[in-house]
Structure 1
């Protein structure tokens, strides 16, 4: 057996181990926050050894950064990529909002939205982990604004883009927070109705608003 085959096999096993551990890490952080995500705590939750996790991620910060990156990939796959089936503008905005509500409602992570859960850990801190969470959220807020800008430029909506984006994101985040607090799915329906009302007031038609149905 060649040396390259052996190395490729080890790399594949390492990648598989990394994915399995990160599944536990993202879920754990959604409940306990990034501050609670340590090599020891993850070993306890995942059933992996501390030494294997330390080998994979080198340090607590390395683990936290890898966890944020993994959560961002899941967020994109669950929310952003499916919405790209809709044309840019108001239809894509509605699809993004619907997907974001479903991602929290369906508990892709036990603690609801990973980034809503971890933002509280980093909102007043500095450093690479805080920067990674902020970058993910800033990109998400910016993407909503970009799609709303397309909608306004195309004559689909008449609204202050920055204000409307803030309101829509806030409704999504409040639905996530209140559902977790009260152990109740009703906030998602309320948020979808409120989002529909804001988009209707800005000029969206019923065909677009139907995309918000959960």
Structure 2
């Protein structure tokens, strides 16, 4: 076996472990990830799984990173070439709602679930979850402030307040879909976003 093929196979195995881990953690939580379970489900030895991560916390952090890559591909990358400010803010909100509507993760928003699981704890996993939310909030704030500067939102708009409310709408949608299976909430979320952004439709 060539070194190049060996590296490619190792990366393929790592991705397979991470993708299965994301699926489990999305529904059952990061704490339910165990080396033994993953080994059984993937037809591997425990040492084979452990060799890719070294410890459970390292696996959890890698799963968060992988979930972040999926979120970026679904929500950020489709809008990155859209004009900054209001056009991009609108597109970001729509992509965010669509990500939940389409059930990209089987358990709803991966990071909302992780936040509920770890927000009362200390440690590297909790810090990584918080950092994801901080990064996303910063993106929304940046586009909101650009929209204000361009005159697409009223000059007195409190960007922090608006982002808080937009986040609340989407988090409420996640709750409605996951707990109640309420598909009507998707349209309510869209209406709420349009109303807060002053969009007449």
Normalising to structure 2: TM-score of the pair?
Answer: 0.93
Which residue number in structure 2 is paired with residue 84 of structure 1? 80
**What secondary structure sits across from 2:2 in the alignment?**
helix
In the alignment, structure 1 residue 72 sits paired with structure 2 residue 80: no
Q: How many Å apart are 1:189 and its aligned residue?
A: 1.1
Indicate which of 131, 134, 140 corresponds to 1:138: 134
8 Å contact kept, 1:176–1:188: no
Counterpart of 2:190 in structure 1 is 192
State the Cα deviation string for residues 1-37 of structure 1 (Å, max 9, x = none). Answer: xxxx722221110101111111111111111111212
Deviation per CA, 1:52-87, whole angstroms, max 9, x where unpaired?
211111110111010000001111111011111211
Shift of 1:44: 4.1
The CA distance in 1 between the partners of 2:194 and 2:62, in whole Å, is 36
How well do the aligned residues superpose, as a CA RMSD in angstroms? 1.5
Contact 1:149 1:161 (C-alpha < 8 Å) held by counterparts: yes
Counterpart pick for 1:94 among 90, 93, 101: 90
For the residues of structure 2 that align with 1:172 and 1:40, how far apart are their CA atoms?
35
Alignment of 1:93-172 (within 5 A): 93-158=89-154, 159-172=157-170
Q: 1:180, 1:44 → 2: CA distance?
A: 28
1:56 partnered with 2:52: yes
| Pairing partner for 1:40 from 33, 36, 57 | 36
2:179 to 178, 181, 195: 181
2:42 and 2:179 map into 1 onto residues whose CA distance is: 25
Unaligned runs of 5+ in 2: none
Q: C-alpha deviations, 1:179-212, integer Å up to 9, x for none?
A: 1111222111111111111111xxx4x4xx6xxx
2: CA distance, partners of 1:86 / 1:198: 20
Partner Cα distance (1:67, 1:131) in 2: 14
Distance in 2 of aligned mates of 1:54 and 1:135: 26
TM superposition shift of 1:45: 4.3
* More deviation, 6-15/40-49: 40-49
1:21 corresponds in structure 2 to 17
Please give the alpha-carbon distance, in whole angstroms, between the structure 1 residues aligned to 2:167 and 2:40: 35
Answer yes or no: is the 8 Å Cα contact 1:172–1:191 preserved in 2: yes
2: CA distance, partners of 1:41 / 1:109: 20
Distance in 2 separating the partners of 1:42 and 1:156: 49
CA contact (8 A) 1:22 1:67 kept: yes
Matches of 2:81 and 2:191, distance apart in 1: 23
In 2, are the aligned partners of 1:39 and 1:63 still within 8 Å (CA)?
A: no
For residues 91 and 152 of structure 2, the distance between their equivalents in structure 1, rounded to whole angstroms, comes to 15
